[in-house]
Amino acid sequence: MDNTFSSFNPISRTLMGPGPSDVDPRILTALAKPTIGHLDPQFIELMDQVKQLLQYAFKTENALTMPISAPGSAGMEACFANLVEPNDKVIVCQNGVFGGRMAQNVIRCGGELILIEDEWGKPTDINKLADALKTHPDAKIVAFVHAETSTGVKNDAKALCALAKQYGCLTLVDAVTSLAGVELRVDEWQIDAIYSGTQKCLSCVPGLSPVSFSPAAIDKIKARKTPVQSWFLDMQLVMEYWGEGAKRAYHHTAPVNSIYALHEALVNLHNEGLEASWLRHQRCHEQLKNGLQSMGLSLVVEQDFRLPQLNTVYIPDGVDDAKVRSCLLNEFNLEIGAGLGVLAGKVWRIGLMGYGCNERNVDYCLNSLQAALDK
Ligand SMILES: *Cc1c(COP(=O)(O)O)cnc(C)c1O
């Protein structure tokens, strides 16, 4: 093997899959700024701004709102590891891949899993949750995915949380793909624990997971009888570095430059306006939907619970899934997503997330897909 090495220079792509999404060049520039210490007073100031901006993005006043120094999956673990104690009954609503991961988390934390399943491509049936809550009045937590990236379904977070609250449960929500892409109101909807990711509608680099915990969630964490198994994700320890009025005690070395990038992404979101960002995702979705339909392609998910930022489209009969995707990648530098789980080989997933969610990209995607299909 040749053992001369040189810098890595990837061909740039247009990322229209399930994530990562296209990163705004301004965010890449922010990433290249000089690294400073993670306890430098300048960095502490930046941390405070990041917390405030995340509160804006989540629509919450929760003091414990911060990025976990690892990707969305770590935010998921942080929520479950901190809130689930051995033998706690946890209801998980599953209608895709990520709900399945939530269920795994419950089991690994020693919780008692009550699983409600709905068909992939359909939303969680609230009547099933009502039945489960009646059957299990001792349930402590209700968990579900707001934007199920594996299918393109939006679950009714507001209604599911309102119901869970009637039964005195804490609510735990996956907002990895929903944050900044569709309406999400943490305080108004009574969400107690929520996690997201930087690489979807925030169009930042992958590798951070914004989370937020309500005062009720913090009470449950503080009342734990057993310590959180994960040292790294134990929020009581993390709070001493990130928390309000914290000592800023060393816990781990924050990914300093990635936090610059997240700050820039959130400044961009704040400048555009959260509601304007939701609307832009909806507008581009309409444009994509019309284009796909006029090509004779059909969407998997019904309009009422369709995610604008993740469009699942049936692969037409006789078309080779892998061939089309590799043609798009190799000839058009365009990445779209394959189907997952039961939808593998049956659908494509077209993401319209964050910076990449614009009219020009929708046109580019439609034209490239048409060209690939014509071959
Ligand atoms: C992408 C995604 C995750 C996982 O995020 P990573 O950053 O890949 O760890 C979790 N949940 C949903 C709904 C996602 O779309």
- Tokens 């209604």 correspond to 159
Query: Is 212 a member of any domain?
Result: yes
Judge if 223 and 334 occupy the same domain: no
Which of 86-90, 249-253, 272-276 has the lowest average pLDDT?
249-253
**From the CB of 197, is ligand 1 less than 6 Å away?**
yes
| Six-digit token string for 222 | 């503080």
Judged against a pLDDT cut of 90, whether residue 239 lies above it is answered with no
pLDDT number for residue 303:
95
Query: Is 7 a member of any domain?
Result: no
Query: Is 309 a member of any domain?
Result: yes
Judge if 61 and 205 occupy the same domain: yes
Q: Tell which atom from ligand 1 comes closest to the C-alpha of 197.
A: 7
Instruction: Indicate whether this model's pTM tops 0.95.
Output: yes
Query: Is 263 a member of any domain?
Result: yes
pLDDT number for residue 249:
85
Judge if 221 and 114 occupy the same domain: yes
Judge if 291 and 303 occupy the same domain: yes
Judge if 119 and 162 occupy the same domain: yes
Work out the average pLDDT over 315-328: 97
**Nearest-CA neighbor of 28 among 205, 181, 280, 236?**
205
Q: What is the pLDDT of residues 31-77, one digit of tens each?
A: 999 999 999 999 999 999 999 999 999 999 999 999 999 999 999 99
Q: Which of 270, 286, 309 is the last residue of a domain?
A: 270
Domain, as residue range, for 251: 26-270
pLDDT number for residue 20:
97
Judge if 213 and 332 occupy the same domain: no
Query: Is 61 a member of any domain?
Result: yes
Judge if 323 and 225 occupy the same domain: no
> How confident is the prediction for the chain on average, in pLDDT?
97
**From the CB of 144, is ligand 1 less than 6 Å away?**
no
Judge if 240 and 198 occupy the same domain: yes
Query: Is 1 a member of any domain?
Result: no
Q: Which of 270, 305, 331 is the last residue of a domain?
A: 270
59: left (phi over 0), alpha (psi -120 to 50) or beta: left
Here the CATH number for the domain that contains residue 205 is 3.40.640.10
pLDDT number for residue 108:
98
CA of 96 to the centre of ligand 1 (A): 12
Judge if 224 and 263 occupy the same domain: yes
Nearest CA to ligand 1 atom 2: 176
Work out the average pLDDT over 87-97: 98
Q: What is the pLDDT of residues 165-196, one digit of tens each?
A: 999 999 999 999 999 999 999 999 999 999 99
Judge if 260 and 281 occupy the same domain: no
Judge if 151 and 242 occupy the same domain: yes
Q: Which of 270, 304, 325 is the last residue of a domain?
A: 270
**From the CB of 73, is ligand 1 less than 6 Å away?**
yes
Q: What is the pLDDT of residues 255-306, one digit of tens each?
A: 999 999 999 999 999 999 999 999 999 999 999 999 999 999 999 999 999 9
CA of 174 to the centre of ligand 1 (A): 8
Work out the average pLDDT over 114-126: 98
Q: What percent of the chain has pLDDT over 90?
A: 95
Confidence class for position 244, pLDDT limits 50, 70, 90: confident
Q: How far apart are CA 119 and CA 129, in angstroms?
A: 14
Judge if 148 and 202 occupy the same domain: yes
pLDDT number for residue 245:
75
CA of 172 to the centre of ligand 1 (A): 15
State which H helix or E strand residue 211 sits in: strand 209-213
Domains in the chain, number: 2
CA of 97 to the centre of ligand 1 (A): 10
Q: How far is CA 194 from CA 125, 210, 236, in A?
A: 21, 8, 16
Here the CATH number for the domain that contains residue 289 is 3.90.1150.10
Q: How far apart are CA 348 and CA 340, in angstroms?
A: 9
**From the CB of 98, is ligand 1 less than 6 Å away?**
yes
Work out the average pLDDT over 14-23: 97
**From the CB of 153, is ligand 1 less than 6 Å away?**
no
Query: Is 222 a member of any domain?
Result: yes
Q: Any long-range contacts for 66-69 (C-beta under 8 Å, 24+ apart)? A: 66/210, 66/211, 66/212, 66/238, 66/242, 67/198, 67/208, 67/209, 67/210, 67/211, 67/259, 67/262, 68/195, 68/208, 68/209, 68/210, 68/211, 68/233, 68/238, 69/208, 69/252, 69/254, 69/255, 69/258
pLDDT number for residue 240:
86
pLDDT number for residue 195:
98
Query: Is 6 a member of any domain?
Result: no
pLDDT number for residue 1:
63
Instruction: Give 169-208 as a DSSP string.
Output: -EEEEE-TTTTTTS---TTTTT-SEEE--SSSTT---SS-
